Homo-oligomer: A and B are copies of this chain.
Amino acid sequence: MKSICGVEGVSAAGIKEGKYGLALIRASGTAAGVFTTNRARAAPVEVMMERMRRGTLDAVVVNSGCANAYTGERGYRDAVEMCEIAGGALGLDAESVGVASTGVIGRYLNLPLITDQCGRVAPLLAHSADAEDAAARAIMTTDTFPKHALVETETFAVGGITKGSGMIAPNMGTMLAFLYTDAEVEGPVLQDILRTATRRSFNRVVVDGDTSTNDVAFCTATGAAGKVDRAELATAIEAVCRDLAVQIARDGEGATKLLEVTVRGAPDEDAAAEVARTVVASPLVKTAIYGEDPNWGRVVAAAGRAGVAFDPYAVSLSVGDTPLVLRGEIVADLVQAKAAMRGSTVAFDLDLAAGDGLATAWGCDLTEKYVEINGKYTT
């Protein structure tokens, strides 16, 4: 197993038919969720923000191809109806079924298709590597590979799947991510752990700076493994979130390289994260990465507009193991720097010399392919 079926008590299934996919995941337990901060929240997000208050889930149903976003009251009713369809297919109370959608904004759900797909997917539910992979593939849109992560400790496991490739600048919520653990944990604790893990992982990925209307991350704890150490659980959940977040960045639309920016020496962790996010989001940094052009001045320029106080002439910057700036002094050997940008991962380390804050953010290069994918996505 590579993800959710590595967790006791989780079964999954999914199908993908052209643009339209549907996944079902069955697992009962304490549940927590984080949601997009975009003001134009999708209907399934509205539904789940209410439903997650009860603090438990028995299943989730997810469709790809239509975001059910900006669809008003009809969209809300459709999202509720989608839970009922899935609940019917699974023999569960609709209120205990979570719902998420991803795809084009401003289009209504095709409920007959969802009904048909639920009817065919439900009998396929299984606790297997194939099943978790089918679910991960069913929720893909422009993703080029399914995204799995699993952390196993001696006493419990945490697994997750996610999707996301474009419209990626999560804020508080994230793209679609579904995490499971067999640890036994109280709802408020799980919510707290998930919020922190999300802040340090999904919320530090920027593909294009656009925050989706549909971002959600759910974590369900089945309790099958009994009580566990809280810190250990938090570490495992954060590790799974980070693993999935890095996969999203690497699979950014049109990306050829992963961009990893670590900012240290910031006034605090939030400031470090803000600078790191600003650098990975900069179109000029992203195109330089693509061109393997050691135009490191763009990194300093992006950091300078992040709204964080620091002295530009105190900073140190390196790419890979190659120093570029040492406490404000330019020491860049541009031939070496170019060589350090050749691999599939380009890592900058920026020390602001303004405190103890540390954070890493992930993104990708900006290529002609991103333009091609997004110039022709809907119609």
Contact = CB atoms under 8 A, between A and B. Distances in A.
A231 B172 CA distance: 45
Interface residues of A, number: 67
A104 B209 contact: no
> What copy number does this chain have within its complex?
2
Interface string A38-49: 111100000000
Interface string A102-129: 0011110000000000000000000000
A353 interface: no
A281 B282 CA distance: 12
A228 interface: no
A300 B210 contact: no
A139 B297 CA distance: 20
Given A70-B300, A104-B295, A301-B40, A367 B378 contact: no
A171 interface: yes
The DSSP consensus for interface residues of chain A is loop
A309 interface: yes
26 contacts: A38-B301, A39-B303, A39-B304, A39-B310, A40-B312, A67-B297, A69-B297, A106-B297, A166-B284, A167-B284, A167-B301, A169-B305, A171-B305, A210-B284, A210-B302, A210-B305, A211-B305, A283-B374, A288-B378, A290-B371, A290-B375, A291-B377, A294-B378, A294-B379, A366-B371, A368-B371
